Amino acid sequence: MFWVSFIAVFIVSAIGLPPPTYIKPCSISKDFEKCSLQVGKHALASFARGDKKYGIPPLDPFNFKLLEINSGTLKITLTDIVAMGLSTADFTGMKIIVPTKRVKMGLKLNHLSLTGQYEMNGKILVLPIQGKGPFQLHFYNGTYEYSYDLKQEVRDKITYAEIANDDLEIDIKSAKINFENLFNGDKVLGDETNRFLNENFEEVFKDLDQALKQSISSVCRLVLQNFFKRIPYKDLFLE
């Protein structure tokens, strides 16, 4: 199970709000991709600044307290995480498969950085690894596709959008990885391990692929669902 707690808590009791001025509804059955691309590109800058009224925290920096990754052979706990670079994202589009209402939305990011504290124990590939301390992760030239089933739920006689069966596809062209204080501060072993992780980052990400995607999906879900639960479905999606 993946638990995420935000440093900034956006608790808004209002429901049935009108959409913000930077969002206009798109017709699911007519020119949805064209409309959603225009709306998404325009809205991304406003999303990046945050909008407390609609439960959106500032995205740059984006702070969250906890992210847990458990691949079965390796457990990583990341805490006090600061993500930088989301405000520079390029919204590449959004499409919906009409019969099933499966939604896919894409972003491109030239540089995404994560910093914070880590604790890990287990194996990456065939390499035993353990440690606790500061970490830095830098992802370059990444594409991210978040997909989900668009459902509906009724609260107080108002229908809202709901996310179900979400997934995330990540394609990162290069990365820089640094975990400090590996192996209880053994600098030689720690430097060698970080070198191995950087030289083999593609295999490392494949090894952690499913666990990593599920963890990051949980963050996407919380942010987007927090937005959906405030605005009636009919004001976001036209049938």
Name all domains of the chain by residue range, CATH numbers in brackets.
26-238 (3.15.10.30)
**Mean pLDDT to the nearest integer, 33-50:** 88
Distances 39 to 22, 83, 110, 146, 150 between C-alpha atoms, Å: 7, 24, 21, 17, 18
pLDDT in the model for residue 181: 97
Residue 5 sits at φ, ψ, to 5 deg, of -125, 125
In the 8-state DSSP scheme, what is residue 229? T
Query: Looking at residue 70, what is its pLDDT?
Result: 87
User: Which run of H or of E encompasses 10?
Assistant: none
Is the pLDDT at 211 greater than 80? The verdict is: no
pTM of structure: 0.83
DSSP string, 18-44: PPPTT---EESSSSHHHHHHHHHHHHH
What is the b/e burial string over 204-229, where b = at least 16 CB atoms within 10 angstroms of the residue's CB? bbebbeebbbbbbbbbbbbbbbbbbb
CA distance 73 to 92: 35
C-alpha dihedral, 115 to 118 to 120 to 123, nearest 10°:
10
Highest mean pLDDT among 34-48, 130-144, 217-231: 130-144
Q: Report residue 181: phi and psi, to 5°.
A: 65, 35
Q: 């370059």: which residue's tokens?
A: 140
Asked whether the beta carbons of 192 and 179 are under 8 A apart, the reply is: no
The 10s digit of each residue's pLDDT in 91-129 is 999 999 888 999 999 999 999 999 999 999 999 888 899
Asked whether the predicted pLDDT for residue 154 surpasses 90, the reply is yes
